[in-house]
Amino acid sequence: MTTTVDKSSPLQKPQLISTDQPPLKKQRTVSDLNQVDQLKQLTTVVADTGDVNAIKKFSPQDATTNPSLIYKAAVMPEYASIVDDAVAYGKGDLALTMDKLAVAFGTEISKIVPGYVSTEVDARLSFDTEGTINKARDLIKMYDEVGVSKDRILIKIAATWEGVQAAKQLEKEGITCNLTLIFSIAQAIACAEVGCTLISPFVGRIMDWHKKAKGVDGFAPAE
């Protein structure tokens, strides 16, 4: 304990007075934050992966998956039990097994993120409106079977004309949609006009087109 002697009065016996103060908590500055935490101060962070452990590490608001991301996660040893359960559920039906696998990973992710989890419809249905609608309903039913509300799920659909029309119907049924593979403002407008909950412009491929068109390797941030 740090002390000082109080000699303010000659008639009183000197007293020891504690000068201890609780330590001040250091305020975190931007330089103390990692890149993910800095992003969280500016925008909503969405994880684009099927790796459940990576999502736990970075704690995003939402998460999205697609078949290639699910595949990358599915071959990791720590997720073998999820794959085994999906195979047992499918009983030899490959399409059903893949749907269950996507839902199983989505279910685990929904336990971590507080917001939406996007689950993608089979890309082979991109030009099939009715097929997309039926697949979306099947996915939502699978989520319901394990206790995940459709309010937590975004059905990810390619933004073809047929996909947009499927999203129009699904949104009317209360099934929220994330329209992906958007390369133009026309697609974005079409999605907005039918009330899609979310759109996902394919920024990387859009940039690739502009780099090729202008014959450059990249663009400065200001550009």
Known catalytic residues are 156
- Residue 100 corresponds to which tokens in the numbers above? 């269950």
Task: State the Cα–Cα distance between residues 191 and 211, nearest whole angstrom.
Answer: 26
What is the residue whose two structure tokens read 């209360």? 174
Chain centroid to Cα 1, Å, comes to 50
Strand segments (E) across 103-212: 117-120, 153-158, 177-182, 198-201
Strand segments (E) across the chain: 3-6, 15-18, 46-48, 62-64, 117-120, 153-158, 177-182, 198-201
Contacts of residue 109, defined as CB under 8 A and 6 or more positions apart, other chains included, come to: 47, 50, 52, 55, 63, 65, 117
Long-range contacts of 53-60 (CB under 8 A, 24+ apart): 53/78, 55/109, 55/112, 55/113, 56/112, 59/112, 59/113, 60/113
- Residue 137 corresponds to which tokens in the numbers above? 């309903």
